[in-house]
Chain A
Amino acid sequence: MIDRAKKSSIRSAYGNALVEVGTENENIVVLDADVAASTQSKIFQKAFPERFFDMGIAEQDMIATSAGLASQGKIPFASCFAVFASGRAYDQVRNSVCYPKFNVKVVGTHGGITVGEDGASHQALEDVALMRAIPNMTVIVPADSQECREAVKYAATHDGPFYIRVARSNVPDIFDENYKLDNKGNVMCEGADVTIVTNGETLAEALDASEILKSSGIGATVINMPFVKPLNSDIILKHAAGKKLVVTVENHSIIGGLGSAVCEVLSENAPTKVLRIGINDTFGQSGNANLLLEHYGLSAEKIVEKIKEKLKDNK
């Protein structure tokens, strides 16, 4: 089981990674919308004050300004809460960043239901769907601090628009410092009966779920899929073949995100039954992050329950 005591802040990892890439490349600039302390972009601000711009509570201005900077060869990382980066500034992301394929990295922190106490207005549950639908956009949802660091490094060295979705909560450490991000996804463990495809905060839950399932005699393969777009269909098709069920787990609406992307691949290539576990087309609410995870069926135990139920139905 995942060591829940060993957690670190994925947002601090973001801030530290910015300093790392900013040290290597002086074209990297960072913008924030009055939440630099929350997104932790303030770590970059401290290191490179002349390349940091707090745009105030003006997400639309921040994204279009980033596009202007990118048009002249800068590499802006623009961060704020995921719900505003993807929602409030959607048109700017679409028309000013993605249409010209500008080198802007949009970073949405506080993604998913685990925003917790702030409640529905601040819980981005559709951001991956929105960002994934825009041409030229790459979408990464890192699972822990090391993967977040890698995502920032990857985005900094690959041309074009990126959306990186970061969780608010401290997350269990899954990968060590030697882990390199691969846009192909990676198999975390293998089992014969079901394949679980997941990313972000729910990777830890899925890994624990696979352990619990194992003790009930159900073998589960867990695939970590940080790149929702472009999605590597090969790994999904390979590990869906011969399984009783494919399961997707995401801290996001079941509409339009990872679950939908996996269904698209499978239905076009190898029609397979898919159980999508995520937020069921509903707004969230305030509460403790862990309790919310459980309430909305995303905790390891709830994932196990749903998989067992579905397997029973399938018989």
Chain B
Amino acid sequence: MNQDEIEKLKEICKVNRRNIIKTIHNAKSGHPGGALSACDILTVLFEKVMNCYPEWEKSENHAKRDRFVLSKGHASAGLYSVLAHRGFIKEEELMGFRQINRLLQGHPNTHIPGVEVPTGSLGQGLSLSCGIAMALKLDKNPAHVFCLLGDGELQEGSCWEAFMHAPHRGLNNVTAIIDKNNLQIDGNVDKIKSVDVLTDKLKAFNWNVIEIDGHDIEQIYDALMKSKTSDIPTAIVAKTIKGKGVSFMENQVGWHGKNPNDEECAKALEDLK
């Protein structure tokens, strides 16, 4: 990727972050912290790494698409903003987020173009991804599956059933990305129930582990591209900042699941100019 492309992606990340804030502000509910920490990863995935066909089921290339699973389903505002920018959904849909009889549910479901499987109940996304990967292998389909998990989410034991499963079955068409922002609702992940040392754990589970700065566009891109050609499943441990990009939300546990009021929204958008 050249510098121009990197700068362009950074701009798109800003647009997407602004949409996260506007979406949650308008809904008067949602999860800004984890959406902002995952925003750069989601943007690079959908804008640069994945084979995407935003016409979704109407596309003649639909079967060739790379698959994405948002295991940390509460980062939905992040995913929806990225899907809107990429053209899967209309941008005006964002203003229906979490509203009755509208498309964009609080947590992703399969009515939404770009969403393969429903998520929201934590600890299921990686198993779902492995199922998708197995189906692709059975069909000799070379598409790749990307799954984004939270670090707090890894306290769900079912995640580790899937971490055991993927390497065992040689599912090198799965990439797990862990958005390691070290915050969960009740506080710091390492204080509540530590998931460290994560890299060592995943290596012991026979994953190809890559550590990156989850806000560095180039590192995100390189790791994701490398993961596509690995012989064994790849886990990308992405160190991130919860609330990234909004000064008063960064590393603040209180912004896990709280909507900004009008004043906070204006200030956040100012930060994201």
Binding site for B on A (CB under 8 A): 29, 50-51, 53, 55-56, 58, 60-61, 63-74, 76, 91-92, 94-96, 99-100
B138/A100 in contact, CB under 8 A:
no
Q: Does chain A have a CB within 8 A of B116? A: yes
- In the complex formed, the residue of A with least CB distance to B131 is A68
B138/A65 in contact, CB under 8 A:
no
Given A29-B138, A72-B136, A96:B158 Cβ within 8 A: no
- In the complex formed, the residue of A with least CB distance to B145 is A68
A-side contacts of B199, CB under 8 Å: none
In the complex, number of A-B residue pairs with CB atoms less than 8 Å apart: 97
A-side contacts of B134, CB under 8 Å: 29, 53, 65, 68-69
B-side contacts of A65, CB under 8 Å: 127-128, 130-131, 134, 162, 165
Partner of B135, one of A58, A61, A73, A94: A73
- In the complex formed, the residue of B with least CB distance to A100 is B110
How far is A99 from B110 in the complex, measured between Cα atoms in Å?
9
Binding site for A on B (CB under 8 A): 109-110, 116-118, 120-121, 123-124, 127-136, 138-139, 158, 161-162, 164-165, 169
Given A71-B116, A71-B132, A60:B158 Cβ within 8 A: yes
Q: How far is the CB of B149 from the nearest CB of chain A, in Å?
A: 13
B117/A61 in contact, CB under 8 A:
no
Q: How far is the CB of A177 from the nearest CB of chain B, in Å?
A: 32
Q: How far is the CB of A48 from the nearest CB of chain B, in Å?
A: 11
A71/B109 in contact, CB under 8 A:
no
Q: How far is the CB of B231 from the nearest CB of chain A, in Å?
A: 21
Given A58-B161, A74-B138, A95:B132 Cβ within 8 A: no
- In the complex formed, the residue of A with least CB distance to B156 is A60
A-side contacts of B127, CB under 8 Å: 60-61, 63-65, 67-68, 92, 96
B128/A99 in contact, CB under 8 A:
no
B-side contacts of A67, CB under 8 Å: 117, 124, 127-128, 131
A61/B161 in contact, CB under 8 A:
yes
Known contacts A65-B128, A68-B127, A72-B131; 14 further A-B pairs (Cβ under 8 A): A50-B138, A56-B165, A60-B127, A60-B158, A60-B161, A61-B130, A64-B127, A68-B135, A71-B110, A72-B132, A96-B117, A96-B121, A100-B109, A100-B118
